[in-house]
Structure 1
Amino acid sequence: MSENTVNSSNPLDIVKWLVTLALLGGIVAADYIYDDVSVLIRALAAVVAVGIAGFIASTTEKGSAFITFAKDARIEVRKVVWPTRQETTQTTIIVLIATAVMSLLLYLLDMVIVELVSLITGLGI
């Protein structure tokens, strides 16, 4: 049978998420309010605020689960055997040739169908 899970998240997580959203909303608002300030200063302030918001979000239960997921995904990506440049080039050429052949076949099929419809209907399309 399926096991019922109880949502045992920390009530402080809600406050942390609200603070995170307030920081991100504040970035947007500050960008409009301080449009006369240098773009460099606004960009640096935005990067700092996003970093702080990310840190606060990472201390929540869902945030730490996401970080664990991201670390596991990074480990799995390292296990992937990527194709060599020659394999990639050969595969790309095969795909291009197959696409050209299929498009030629579809073009010819379309021409045959147009001729058949013209013959049946008597319209010189």
Structure 2
Amino acid sequence: MKAKNAETPDSSSAAEIIKWLIAFALLAAAVVGNHVYDDMSVVIRAAGVIVLIAGALGVTALTTKGKAAIDFARESRMEIRKVVWPTRQEATQTTLIVLAVCVVMALILWGIDGIMVRLVAFATGI
């Protein structure tokens, strides 16, 4: 894990707040613009929403938390590359074993339920 820097001065936190406000403003503009311009073509509105969302993501990526999220995504991608995935045959065999165990357990529980119903009916005289 990488060492974290100490808290940044107030000017940086003010810049962070401004970046977040810009990102939220862009998202709000996407929602409001899509509603206000509902008489325009859907393609144009969708393109506008996509551009505004991309802009909001771009501004968010410049924040401290955005950079941390991008670093986390990169590290996660590297970890996924290290995973040894099962072969098709192993996945199929494991799936069949799980299904078989589920069926056996369902039959066992069905049988126990039937016995319990008969015992309760016998005990209550129904």
TM over 0.5: yes
**Residue number in structure 2 paired with 1:113:** 116
Instruction: Return the letter of the residue paired with 1:48.
Output: V
Structure 1 ranges of 4+ moved more than 2 A: none
Paired residues in the alignment total 119
Structure 1: runs of 5+ lacking an equivalent: none
Instruction: Report the Cα offset of residue 114 of structure 1.
Output: 0.1
Q: What does the per-residue CA deviation read over 1:1-37, in whole Å, with 9 as the maximum and x for residues that have no partner?
A: xxxx853261201000000001111111111111111
Instruction: Return the letter of the residue paired with 1:39.
Output: V
Give 1:45-84 correspondences, 5 Å limit.
45-84=48-87
- Counterpart of 1:8 in 2: which secondary structure? coil
- Counterpart of 1:72 in 2: which secondary structure? helix
Instruction: Return the letter of the residue paired with 1:52.
Output: G
In the alignment, the residues of structure 1 paired with residue 117 and residue 69 of structure 2 have an alpha-carbon distance, to the nearest angstrom, of 56
**Residue number in structure 1 paired with 2:41:** 38
Q: 1:91 aligns with which of 90, 94, 112?
A: 94
**Residue number in structure 1 paired with 2:29:** 26
Normalised to the residue count of structure 2, the TM-score between the two structures is 0.90
**Residue number in structure 1 paired with 2:8:** 8
In the alignment, the residues of structure 1 paired with residue 49 and residue 117 of structure 2 have an alpha-carbon distance, to the nearest angstrom, of 59
In the alignment, the residues of structure 1 paired with residue 17 and residue 110 of structure 2 have an alpha-carbon distance, to the nearest angstrom, of 59
Normalised to the residue count of structure 1, the TM-score between the two structures is 0.90
Identical aligned residues as a percent: 45
